[in-house]
Structure formats: C-alpha cells, structure tokens
C-alpha cells in the first residue's frame, strides 16, 4: 500500500466515523508517522508505506477514530504562527481565538501610544498560555501576567512560555479568577511575586458553553477539559463573575476583552454596562461573526 492509498483509506474511515475534517486529520497523522510536514507529504504519496510506519499510523488513526482530538494525539497545536504544546488538561487553541489576541494587541498599542507608559495585561483562564504567549511574542514591551485555576494547565502554559519566549517573559499565578489579584491581593497561600495592583487590560477566553449543550458537542470537543468548557446553565456564569469582579483589578479607563459565543453578545453588553463599562465594541472572527467584546471601565478616582 502506498502512502496515498493509506491516506485515502484513512480519510474514508474518519469520514464514516463523523470526523469533521477527515482528509486533514489523516494527513496530519501521516505526517507525524513519517516525521515530516504536510507540505512535504505529497512527495511521498507514491512510495510504499513501510510496515513499521503502517503500524504506527494505524495506532494514531485508532486514537482519532475513538474521538481523541488530533492536537492531543500530536501533543501540539499551531496558534499565531507558534507551535504550542497541548494535553488533555488544556483547551486546544482555536483560530477564532486569534481574534482575541488581535483585539488585545490593538488595545494595548493604543494605550501605549496615548500614555507613553508601560502597559500591563492579565490573561485570565490562560489554559495552554496561547493568548498570553502570543501577546508577549508580538508585543515584547507588554508586561503580561497569566492565571488559571488548574495547576496542570499552568504547568503546560509555563512550559510553552519557556520554550517560545526569551527570558522570563510572563508571570504565571494560580488563581480562581481574581482571587490572587486586586489591590491589595488576597492571601492565597502562594508566594506573592511581583504583580500590579491594577492592570491596563484584562483578556479572557473563559468557559462559555451552556452546560445543557455540552452532551451534544462532538466527541473530540467533549475530550477537552470540562472546566474550560462549562459556562453554567446559560453559558454566562463565569463571564458574569469576571465582569463583576474585574473593576477592582483594572486601572482607570482600563479595558476588559472577552471571547464568547456570538449569540451571547447582547447579554454581555448589558452586563458590561451594569458594571460601569462603556465604549463597548465587538470584533468579528474568521466567519465574520462577533467573537470578542471589549469594554472600557469608566474613569474613576482612588
């Protein structure tokens, strides 16, 4: 059997199993098997697949057919041009989340230009660290903190930052939302490292899927950590908490940026307004649907 024939057969099996991108999945697994990349895979199409490679490919394919996401099988996912290590403790970075990075960079650069001061950012619910690392990678002068409630997720995020960024680029802190932050910070039992009392901007891709919807998600999505998916009965439980608690951690006229479901934007706009946010703006994802919402905390004193 040639590589091309094996790919065709694997794609057919994946399609029959309900995989959304069977040809892509098969080619990624084959590229992993042959220790190459998809761009060079075509050069091997007519070559016979060695027995040892056939066995490895079959084992990877079996995992995918069971519903395991390709990113977990490979142990990595590309995001903003960087290869992030991922594992079942973290949400797999998605292209739509690049909208959050772009909106945050736009906001941070506007703030830096307007004030001339150092801009500080907090990535809440950082998971794999994809957003925080991408922000620091593309805007090195930005001071970035990142937090997560999961120790396993933070370990993954720290490893990604150490591998992808020069020096000590990001401060990682274990925290249940804002519990470890604020002015003054609460006593969490952790060694308090350097942190600002209030941030210039806070970004987050929090859990926002309504709990009743989760059982109907694809098998591969259900393999991702429930902690990173479950947004409560209406999907807004964590988002509501973040909006309500964020003012004590934001500087005057600071910005809050949230990724959410496009259908939640009207509700989120109302919640933002009820907690002192104005100049609310939405940013569209790759499908031209509103994926990120930004609000500025109204100026205050003290």
d(CA 66, CA 17) in angstroms, rounded, equals: 9
Q: Which stretches of the chain drop beneath a pLDDT of 50?
A: 183-194, 301-302
pTM for this prediction: 0.91
For residue 197, the model assigns a pLDDT of 67
User: Would you tell me how many other CB atoms lie within 10 Å of the CB of residue 150?
Assistant: 18
Q: Distances in Å between the alpha carbon of 237 and those of 83, 206, 208, 209, 260?
A: 31, 10, 8, 10, 12
For the domain made up of 95-297, give the CATH fold: Rossmann fold (3.40.50)
DSSP letter for each residue of the chain: -BHHHHHHHHHHHHHHTT-SSHHHHHHHHHHHHTTS-HHHHGGGTTSBPPHHHHHHHHHHHHHHHTT--HHHHHTEEEETTEEEE--TTSPPP-GGGHHHHHHHHHHHHHHHHHH-SPPEEEEES-TTSHHHHHHHHH-TTSEEEEEES-HHHHHHHHHHHHHHSSSS-EEEEE-STTTT-TTTTP--SS---S--SSEEEEEE----B-GGGGGGS-HHHHTS-GGGTB--TTS-HHHHHHHHHGGGGEEEEEEEEEE--GGGHHHHHHHHHHTTEEEEEEEE-TTSSEEEEEEEEPP---
Query: What DSSP string describes 8-19?
Result: HHHHHHHHHTT-
Q: Can you say whether the dihedral through the CA atoms of 74, 83, 201, 169 is positive or negative?
A: positive
In angstroms, the CA 118 to CA 124 distance is: 19
pLDDT value of residue 195: 54
How confident is the model at residue 116, as a pLDDT? 87
Domain ranges, ordered by start, for the chain: 3-66, 95-297
Cα–Cα distance, 193 to 155 (Å, whole number): 17
């Amino acid at each position: 059997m040639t590589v091309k024939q094996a790919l065709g057969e694997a794609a057919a099996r994946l399609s029959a199993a309900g995989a959304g991108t069977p040809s892509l999945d098969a080619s990624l697994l084959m590229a992993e098997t042959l220790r190459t990349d998809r761009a060079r895979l075509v050069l091997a199409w007519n070559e016979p697949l060695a027995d040892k490679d056939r066995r490895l490919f079959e084992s990877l394919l079996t995992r995918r057919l069971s519903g395991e996401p390709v990113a977990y099988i490979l142990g990595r996912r590309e995001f903003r041009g960087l290869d992030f290590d991922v594992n079942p403790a973290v949400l797999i970075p998605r292209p739509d989340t690049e909208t959050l990075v772009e909106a945050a960079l736009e906001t941070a650069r506007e703030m830096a230009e307007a004030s001339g001061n150092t801009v500080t950012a907090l990535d809440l619910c950082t998971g794999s660290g994809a957003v925080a690392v991408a922000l620091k990678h593309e805007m090195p002068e930005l001071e970035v903190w990142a937090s997560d409630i999961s120790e396993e997720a933070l370990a993954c995020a720290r490893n990604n930052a150490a591998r992808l960024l020069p020096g000590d680029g990001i401060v990682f802190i274990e925290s249940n939302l804002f519990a470890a932050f604020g002015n003054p910070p609460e006593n969490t039992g952790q060694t308090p490292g350097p942190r600002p009392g209030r941030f210039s901007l806070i970004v987050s891709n929090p859990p926002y899927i309504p709990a009743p919807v989760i059982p109907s998600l694809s098998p591969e999505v259900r393999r991702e950590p429930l902690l990173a998916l479950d947004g409560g009965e209406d999907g807004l439980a964590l988002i509501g908490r973040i909006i309500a608690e964020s003012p004590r951690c934001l500087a005057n006229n600071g910005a809050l940026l949230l990724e959410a479901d496009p259908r939640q934007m009207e509700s989120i706009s109302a919640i933002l307004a009820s907690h002192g946010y104005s100049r609310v703006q939405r940013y569209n994802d790759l499908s031209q649907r509103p994926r990120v919402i930004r609000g500025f905390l109204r100026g205050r004193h003290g």
